[in-house]
Amino acid sequence: MGRRVGERDESGVNRRMARRAAAREVLFLGLSAAGAWLFINHELLYLEAPYRPSSAPLGAYSLATAVIYLFLRGALIIARGPEGKDSSGRREVSTVPRGTQSAAAQGCTEREIHRPTASRPPRRGFARTRG
């Protein structure tokens, strides 16, 4: 009997999600390599007839690829925003333990939030003396 989509195999890995993540990384690396080549050979963009490719060493291409890759990954992290949504638009599971949310997040009213607690010492004013 076949497995359903999204089920994990014996090792606990969702193969479909793993393939999608690997394809995304290959796409990022390919875009980074193309960007590095174009960055180093930017004279091509001037559209002048006698164009010769740059004789830069392989290390220059590797360094430019790494910098562009890190830029793309950083841009993706920033684009996701503070909500932590993944590429499908679903929100990640909260890591905040139950019972540790703020009073406002738990649905308390303004009066309940600002109610003095028993742990707070009572206010003491200046003692008035009759004179």
pLDDT tens by residue, 52-111: 888 899 999 999 999 999 999 999 889 987 765 555 656 555 565 655 556 555 566 666
Classify burial at 65, counting beta carbons within 10 Å of its beta carbon; exposed 0-12, middle 13-18, buried 19 or more: buried
Residue, of 26 and 9, whose pLDDT is higher: 26
Helices and strands in the chain, H and E counts: 3, 0
- Given a cut of 80, is residue 112 above it in pLDDT? no
Share the mean pLDDT of the chain. 76
CA distance 37 to 60: 10
Q: What's the pTM?
A: 0.53
Alpha helix (H) ranges present in 7-127?
A: 15-40, 58-80, 110-113
- Given a cut of 80, is residue 34 above it in pLDDT? yes
Rg of the chain in Å (alpha carbons): 29
| Tokens read off for 55 | 């004789």
- The mean per-residue pLDDT over the stretch 10-30 comes to 88
- Given a cut of 60, is residue 2 above it in pLDDT? no
Position 126, amino acid: F
Classify burial at 36, counting beta carbons within 10 Å of its beta carbon; exposed 0-12, middle 13-18, buried 19 or more: buried
